[in-house]
Chains A and B, each alone.
Chain A
Amino acid sequence: MKDEAIYRRLFRTALLIRLVEERIIDLYPSDKIQSPVHLSIGQEAVAVGVCDGLKPDDLVFATYRSHGFYIAKGGSLDAMFAELYGRKGGVSGGKAGSMHLAAPEVGLMGSSAVVASTIPHAVGAGLSFKRRGASQIAVAVFGDGATEEGVYHESLNFAALMKVPVLFLCEDNGLAVHSHRPARQSYRLTGHAASFGIATRRVEEGWDVLAIRRATLDAAARVRAGEPFVLEIATSRYKEHVGVGEDFHFNYRTSDGVDAWKRRDPLIVDTKLAAALRPEIDREIEAAVAFAEASPAPGRAELLTDVI
């Protein structure tokens, strides 16, 4: 019963993310969102399950594909749409856009378009928490491609050596832009991390918010006790790497894998719950779109603010 209530709550957040991004798809041809968007459609359960397994003051350091984490952490929808529109009412006044969403008031500590670059930030924040004796933990969110970058390895080594309370969270969608993992990696993530003496876990059921939530609760507890942890969650990117379309016609992948994933995707399968929740969510989104439409564009007065 308790799980049922949690499921409903998490399903709602995941549906919110999906519908927000579907609204972005609708809006995109209008050119009102004049910046690249990296949609997390298919990956929503990861952001939702993970953020629900954290405490509100735990900090998340994210990537350019972070609409999901922004919403799951509790970022304002109005400020998000205004940010995508490049408006003053945006969370960063329009200077950040889709790729750099942040909401420090709810613990989303920025997102970067340079792959792997925020991983050491989570380690640094975790190090500070440890020095202060705080019970907070930091979470580094990254894709499987990011683990090929040198800074990932530097971060694992440092976190293991210094016993930093940081959760390394890999969203494994198997793709780096259009490159499949077997063409890129000579290692398995969990075995590699274990060689640093870091505890690891892989969750295959990346569509299952409850399984992800449980795995995160377990991992976060170990991190809170004072050691890093690598949590790898299999997931599926339904859309193209960047943009709002599909990319199966480019023939670098078939739709088979995505179709198999969709057959287990609660947001698609659980039509009854989706239908029940949808009207309210739609109203929320339309209000946010209206807020963005009404928000003025930044101008010359804002061009040089926040430059030191």
Chain B
Amino acid sequence: MSIAAVKPVQDTRVLSYAGALLETMDAALADHANVFIMGQGVDDFKGIFGSTTGLAEKYGAARVFDVPLMEEGMTGVAIGAALVGDYPITTHIRADFSFLAMNQIINLAAKYRYMFGGLMRCPMLIRIVVGRSWGQGAQHSQSPQATFAHYPGLTVVMPSSSQAILDMYPAIINRHPGPVISIEHRLLYNLDFTVAPTDKRVPLTSYIARKGSDVTVVATSVMVLEALRAAQYVEGKAGISAEVIDLNSISHPDWDLVAASVRKTGRLIVADTSWLEYGVAAEVCRQLVMRDPGLLRQPPTMLGMAPAPCPTAKSLEDIYYPSQHETVDAILAQVKGDKHGIALPVERSMTEGYKRFRGPF
């Protein structure tokens, strides 16, 4: 199953998530003279997990450069550059580090357009990477989409595939009028995806990643892939047709699309990369209930991180995140009831699966 497969299959190719990032960063620098990239390690041999490798050599140190350890200062520098017409792209190799820049992101970048009555604009792209697996622990694993999407003035996206990056980044960089936070997922970086030439007219929205009729799974980031894998499994094992929606644009999703799907299926699962409390799962429910409290035939199922900081021990981490096992079980239980009696996939650890996984997805 492929996200790209819902589009016409023409001129497709295989491209990793990191490769898509590198292509879009390269194109942004080539196409827009006012674009520059700064962040800790953007010009080193690792190049933000391969997403900026070689760009400093290609475009020069004035446009792609390392910065001191100064998350707040860097973000403020980006705002200042944006206010005078440049387009900064900043990076944080873990989303957790962006919390050091919260003052600039929330008190300033998010406010400047509105607070000054439209006099000021600070369009920029802040790329942050969510870690998972192999002992990332409490401070290398957080996924702050709900935090950022809470604040008016910020646009928050979570690309779940190479295609999502190819579709969105060129539409964001130097085009979107405000600050954008893109929450990338480290588990996705090394995955290969089938991609088609990009032709998105409305890039910042939500998509049906897989059509179905029995249950709606609204998912974010890597959980989109988990939902697609689960949907494939339940189709083969139980003939269940699961519709998977990639929320994609977290701050500006297509709620009509979500509501129409749930109206059709009457069943809802939300699979998010973060905590459920006051998060994406809660917002999906709010949006649906506000539209029509009768949309659901039964209580929905919510999949997210356990309500604790992320533990480091593998045995705990494996039960901290929703597994493939649980995602499949959620779909089966929604459609067939809790006592569905259908065999679950043997895999317990999603990250083990991703290490073996060699797409294209």
Contacts and interface: CB of A to CB of B under 8 A. Distances in A.
Nearest to B77: A124
18 contacts: A92-B115, A92-B116, A94-B117, A95-B114, A109-B80, A117-B108, A118-B76, A121-B80, A123-B77, A124-B82, A128-B80, A128-B81, A151-B72, A155-B73, A158-B67, A158-B70, A306-B117, A308-B177
Contacts of A128: 80-81, 84-86
Of the listed residues A118, A126, A306, the one surrounded by the most CB atoms of chain B closer than 10 A to its CB is: A306
A112 B107 contact: yes
Contacts of B104: 117, 120, 151
Q: For the complex of A and B, list the 5 residue pairs with the smallest distance between their C-beta atoms, beginning with the closest.
A: A124-B80, A120-B76, A154-B73, A92-B117, A121-B80
B152 interface: yes
Interface in A51-66: 59, 61
A114 B75 CA distance: 15
Contacts of B36: 131
Given A95-B117, A102-B120, A154-B70, A124 B62 contact: no
A181 B270 CA distance: 53
A154 B74 CA distance: 8
A167 interface: no
Interface of B: 36, 62-63, 67-68, 70, 72-86, 88, 103-104, 107-108, 112-120, 152-153, 155, 176-178
Interface in A104-135: 104, 109-110, 112, 114, 117-129, 131
Contacts, number: 139
Given A128-B81, A158-B73, A305-B118, 9 more contacts: A61-B80, A104-B119, A110-B112, A114-B108, A127-B81, A131-B86, A151-B72, A151-B103, A157-B70
Interface of A: 59, 61, 90-96, 100, 102, 104, 109-110, 112, 114, 117-129, 131, 138, 150-151, 154-155, 157-158, 161, 305-308
B178 A308 contact: yes
B69 to A, nearest CB: 8
Nearest to B152: A307
Contacts of A121: 76-77, 79-80, 83, 108
Of the listed residues A95, A123, A126, A154, the one surrounded by the most CB atoms of chain B closer than 10 A to its CB is: A154
